[in-house]
Chain A
């Protein structure tokens, strides 16, 4: 199974900060990676698919990059609405389709 490792697990940041979250795969997944934002009691929200494609309606301050085993999600200027938990997910194949453990972005 492909393991997804996210870092950091918790991130403290201020409004307008540039924030970067890393996701590493245990083997190459090409660009088959998605990022989600999740707030308590709400439905998770797709932000990025295929490593760097911005989902329709998602603010342009969110961007994704990477390929192979290392990927990043960047928020260029943190907004109040962005405090949430972020998950990466690989979809290289059904076998072991899995999520990272999450990164909680909290107010500094």
Chain B
């Protein structure tokens, strides 16, 4: 059974860049069946899709965040990463990595990490 685990700093200063990594176990990021995605949830608010990456390196980003985010992967480590730059307090959230089904019937998330709280504050 696949498991995903986020790692990264819990506190980041305003205007800095956030870097998070998701490690996949029990599965491979080189599978063509899935995208590898990031979703976040600000305190007291709903879930927001950030974007995803495919095994071939193709990426998709939420247009509302596209100018500030990038997603990459390291296949040899079964890891994928998220960078968000020019952070503000509005980026404070629990960040989840997730496995997203690809293909014509895809677009939903069948496995998630437990999430990591990132606070943007000086």
Contacts and interface: CB of A to CB of B under 8 A. Distances in A.
B46 A49 contact: no
A96 B48 CA distance: 10
Contact of B108 (A46, A98, A102): A46
A100 B46 contact: yes
Contacts of B49: 97-99
B108 A89 contact: yes
Interface residues of B, number: 22
Contacts of A45: 112
Q: Classify the interface of chain A: helix, strand, loop or mixed.
A: loop
A80 interface: no
Classify chain A: how many residues form its interface, as a range: 20 to 34
A102 B47 CA distance: 9
Contact of B114 (A43, A87, A91, A95): A43
Given A32-B107, A44-B96, A49-B108, A99 B47 contact: yes
12 contacts: A42-B114, A43-B115, A44-B98, A46-B110, A49-B110, A50-B105, A55-B110, A89-B47, A91-B106, A98-B49, A99-B49, A100-B46
Given A49-B110, A92-B107, 19 more contacts: A32-B107, A36-B109, A41-B115, A43-B112, A43-B115, A44-B96, A44-B112, A49-B108, A55-B110, A91-B106, A91-B108, A94-B60, A94-B107, A97-B49, A97-B62, A98-B48, A98-B49, A99-B49, A100-B46
